[in-house]
Amino acid sequence: MDASGPTGQPDRRGAREPERETMAVRGGRRHNAGSLATPLWATSVFEQGSLEEMRKLGARPRPERFYSRYANPTVTAFEDAVAELEGAEAALAFASGMGAVFATVFGLCSRGSHVVAQQQMYGGTLQLLRGVCPRMGIDVTFVDATRPGAFAEAVEPGRTTLVLAETPANPCLDLVDLDELAGLQGPITAVDATFATPLGLRPLEHGVSLSIHSATKAMAGHNDATLGVVSGERDLVDWLWGFATVQGATPSPFDALNGLRGLRTLGVRLRQQTETALALAAALEAHPRVANVRHPGLASHPQHELARRQLRVTGGLVSFDLGGYGAACAFVDALRLCRLAPSLGGPETLITHPASTSHAGLGPEELAEAGISVGTVRLSAGLEATADVLADVLGAVDAAAGLEDGAES
């Protein structure tokens, strides 16, 4: 980024890099032509001036005004903003987070490839790795990502193509040491950092090859866009683009516009959500009816020191265990403010039951490996007043406990 002032002249105060929150507001504006709002290019195709012009555009990577499955100016603006925020040479957007994960795995791997992945991951990613990859002749080894050295032990020199991690992990917020991950020699490393957002964690700064996000969540932040994005070195991202054009998981310009709008307010939203999540985690940890409360900002988190070293913002997610499925149902039924929905990062505080939603396709052993029980609940703090969220959640915990006590008597 240059250090230009408002008139384009060099900034006499020096070339200090802006804070990430400022980058989120400023990024992705190179085609705005003076408009503060990014233009919406709501078109699937662009008219060409000549056959020769069409031939040149069709033969080069990521032509912006050719065909929107290849590239679109509004989508490019979103990609530019994310790349700047991630400290990446390039970024590539997809129609969903799973589109981004799928393209990363199958754009880099083929029959005979070996992938090392952690067992604590989003359920859709686990289903891809456990179900689809073996059918395509791709071997996957799962490891406990919280154990130091686990990734290195599983890597097979000359054979392992990709090491795939997720931190903080869905839903129990397990962490991965990215310095250790990036130190692996040979395979490409990729990290799904959706829960952290680029404001909380930049995997590329640690030496990881690719950073992946479901931008549907906190990055877009208003529950009105479905997006994924991958960031990294330009050559590697352009290679994935070649696969993505065939894959067809192309984001709509409208969703990209909503994603870019969400980035503008990510900093202030994340601060409020983190404040609420921390207060709620502390209150739940003190409640006798709640077990295994997880938030990276809690001193009781098993990897709290890693969180202090690695996460710039600990985030708006909390997970906890109510002891059983019946208790979880009673808790949800008693909520009045929080909404039951399988997502996160939006303005409303959302509750989800991982064993019934994000990880519903896993068997009992696989759920246990991921640290999930039928009593596990995940909460995504919204933008409501912290006191109101605490009152609703703690009141629902008490109401569920009362129902259980009545049933026992």
Neighbour count for residue 335 (Cβ, 10 Å): 18
Tell me which of 122, 177, 321, 378 is the catalytic residue: 122
Tell me which of 62, 217, 264, 378 is the catalytic residue: 217
What are the tokens at 260?
Answer: 């870019």
Closest CA to 397 of 343, 321, 339: 321
Neighbour count for residue 17 (Cβ, 10 Å): 10
Query: What angle do the packed helices 253-264 and 73-86 form, to 10 degrees?
Result: 40
Tell me which of 26, 29, 65, 69 is the catalytic residue: 69
Asked if 122 is an active-site residue, the reply is yes
The gap from C-alpha 349 to its chain's centroid, in whole angstroms, comes to 17
Tell me which of 80, 192, 255, 392 is the catalytic residue: 192
Q: What angle do CA 354, 317, 229 make, to 5 degrees?
A: 85
The alpha helices in 2-149, defined as continuous H runs, are 20-26, 51-58, 73-86, 97-108, 123-127, 133-135
Asked if 217 is an active-site residue, the reply is yes
Asked if 255 is an active-site residue, the reply is no
User: Please, which contacts does 275-278 make with residues 24 or more away whose CB atoms are closer than 8 Å?
Assistant: 275/386, 276/316, 276/349, 276/381, 276/382, 276/384, 276/386, 276/389, 276/390, 277/314, 277/315, 277/316, 277/317, 277/318, 277/379, 277/381, 278/314
For residue 39, cis peptide bond before it (omega within 30 degrees of 0): no
Asked if 69 is an active-site residue, the reply is yes
For residues 344 and 254, give the distance between their C-alpha atoms in angstroms, rounded to a whole number.
20
What are the tokens at 345?
Answer: 């990062």
For residues 63 and 162, give the distance between their C-alpha atoms in angstroms, rounded to a whole number.
28
Query: What angle do the packed helices 266-285 and 253-264 form, to 10 degrees?
Result: 70
User: Length of the chain in residues, anyone?
Assistant: 409
> Which residue numbers are catalytic?
69, 122, 192, 217
